[in-house]
Amino acid sequence: MPSPRAVILDLGNVLVFHDNALLFHRLGQRAGLPPQEVAQRLTGAGWTAANRGLLDAEGIRKDVCGALGLELPMEEFAPIWSSHFTVHEAVLPRVEGLVGRVKLVLLSNTNALHVAYVRPRLPLLQRFDAVLMSCEVGHVKPEPAFYQLALERAGCAPHEAAFFDDLPEFVEAANALGIRGHVFTDAPAFDAQLKALGL
Ligand SMILES: [Mg+2]
């Protein structure tokens, strides 16, 4: 099988780590709630609406604070809401090495505030051929339309693209469309996966 013409990458827990447990813990401290209660209250309809781009920054603040019975102004809320990110430095050189050799596409389920936080901290994204944030295009994984948009932007057929995501559910959705999906685990495994693909 020829090496892929496009590599489509997830963002969270691939290019940046997002420690949701830490986020729920910090919000819980402010709200006086246990982290698992925070998780339960937040990972419902509002979370999906934010990922679909139906909530802007202020909409997210209101939705999260409302769900937790909190009142935090944006200047306090926004730093906590993005306090759980760490750039995955070990993987960046390998991704940078793909620039110009394949079409590089980012495919992320995320929200307006997290995009605003992560984008300036990940200048490598400027060298991608397309950066598709769910909240900016109105589609979310695992919907086929979101993957199809990535293929369209890469200008290739499904079998010509490799896709990496830490969530098996999203990898399976890619495979169902004929994309060569791989579960991302860590930088050394990613390196081996790319080598096996001839990259
Ligand atoms: Mg992820």
pLDDT digits (tens, 9 = 90+) for 23-73: 999 999 999 999 999 999 998 888 899 999 999 999 999 999 999 999 999
CA pair distance 196, 111, nearest whole angstrom: 33
Q: What residues have a C-beta under 5 A from ligand 1, the ion?
A: 10, 12-13, 166
Angle at which helix 35-42 crosses helix 20-31, to 10 degrees, equals 100
Answer yes or no: are the C-beta atoms of 152 and 159 closer than 8 Å. Answer: no
Q: Where are the domains of the chain?
A: 6-17+87-196, 20-81
Considering the segment(s) 6-17+87-196 as one domain, its CATH architecture is 3-Layer(aba) Sandwich (3.40)
- Rounded average pLDDT over 66-88: 97
Please report the pLDDT score of residue 44 as a whole number.
82
Q: Which residue has the higher pLDDT, 1 or 157?
A: 157
> How far is 39 from 180, CA to CA, in rounded Å?
32
Query: What separation in Å is there between the alpha carbon of 192 and the centre of ligand 1?
Result: 19
Separation of alpha carbons 174 and 33, rounded Å: 37
Specify the pLDDT at position 46.
84
Rounded distance, CA 5 to CA 79, Å?
A: 38
Residue 101 identity: R
CB distance 175 to 159 below 8 Å: no
Asked whether the predicted pLDDT for residue 184 surpasses 90, the reply is yes
Q: Ligand 1 centroid vs 108 CA: distance in angstroms?
A: 7
| One-letter amino acid for residue 145 of the chain | A
**CA 13 to ligand 1 center in whole angstroms:** 5
* Residue 2 per-residue DSSP state: P
Ligand 1 center–CA 110 separation, angstroms: 10
Cα of 16 from ligand 1 centre, angstroms: 9
Q: Domain 20-81 is of which CATH architecture?
A: Orthogonal Bundle (1.10)
- pLDDT (mean) for 136-148: 98
State yes or no: pLDDT of 130 exceeds 90. Answer: yes
User: So what's the pLDDT on residue 131?
Assistant: 98
115 Cα to the center of ligand 1, angstroms = 14
How far from the centroid of its chain's Cα atoms is residue 54's Cα? 17
Q: Residue for token digits 């589609």?
A: 139
| DSSP at 57 | H
Model confidence pLDDT, tens digit, residues 90-116: 999 999 999 999 999 999 999 999 999
